[in-house]
């Protein structure tokens, strides 16, 4: 599960970024802006490294079921962040120029779903190549891994389906 810590932390660091940006927008020193940017770039590097690790884990050996289980755990750990970002972004629609923050919140949610959806797709394609699932099954569940709310429901379905086979 250590390999997925960057994916787990991504939406929570984005929440911290939003609040730091809003709290210090007027008096923010330039050094602080560069520091915040550096932290975000480092986080994106570790997310990319985590995706590469997931890809290697999915296609490199037979631990695809373990990989899928961990991705579902990551999706479940993102639920509080999804709810918070959605509520915060929706509340920003009621203030002037709040739609900019709402768009950023939507971008964070979409990016987070993309990251976990890509990881799940890697695992499903590996399962298909190992002849454990059909092509139609892999395609449908790969698409569902990228749809808001359905990704978590589908992840839980896959998790229990994996448990049943063991």
What pLDDT does residue 139 have? 92
Tokens of residue 17, six digits: 């970024």
Which of 61, 77, 58, 46 lies closest to 126 in space, CA to CA? 58
CA-CA-CA-CA dihedral for 28, 32, 36, 41, to nearest 10: 130
Range of the domain at 139: 2-165
For the whole model, what pTM was predicted?
0.79
What pLDDT does residue 28 have? 60
Q: Is the dihedral of CA 120, 44, 15, 22 positive or negative?
A: negative
Residue 60, burial from CB neighbour count under 10 angstroms (0-12, 13-18, 19+): exposed
Return the H-helix or E-strand segment holding 34.
helix 30-60
Measured between alpha carbons, how far is 88 from 91 in angstroms, rounded to an integer? 5
Measured between alpha carbons, how far is 98 from 94 in angstroms, rounded to an integer? 7
Mean pLDDT over all residues of the chain? 82
Residues of the chain predicted below pLDDT 70 = 1, 24-33, 61-62, 162-166
- In the chain, the number of structural domains is 1
What pLDDT does residue 18 have? 79
What pLDDT does residue 136 have? 92
What pLDDT does residue 29 have? 64
Measured between alpha carbons, how far is 76 from 155 in angstroms, rounded to an integer? 9
Measured between alpha carbons, how far is 30 from 88 in angstroms, rounded to an integer? 26
pLDDT, tens digit, 9 for 90 and up, residues 52-80? 877 777 777 667 777 788 888 888 888 89
């Amino acid at each position: 599960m250590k390999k997925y810590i960057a994916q787990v932390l991504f939406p929570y660091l984005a929440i911290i970024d939003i609040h730091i940006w809003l709290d210090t927008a007027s008096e923010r020193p330039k050094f602080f802006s560069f520091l915040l940017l550096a932290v975000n770039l480092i986080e994106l590097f570790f997310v990319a490294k985590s995706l590469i690790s997931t890809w290697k884990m999915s296609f490199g050996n037979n631990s695809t079921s373990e990989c899928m289980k961990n991705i579902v755990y990551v999706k479940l750990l993102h639920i509080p962040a999804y709810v918070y970002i959605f509520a915060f972004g929706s509340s920003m629609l009621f203030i002037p120029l709040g739609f900019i923050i709402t768009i950023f919140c939507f971008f964070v949610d979409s990016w987070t779903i993309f990251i976990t959806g890509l990881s799940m797709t890697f695992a499903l394609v590996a399962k298909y190549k190992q002849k454990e699932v059909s092509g139609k099954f892999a395609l449908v569940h790969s698409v569902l891994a990228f749809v808001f709310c359905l990704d978590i429901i589908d992840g839980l379905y896959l998790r229990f389906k994996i448990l049943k086979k063991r």
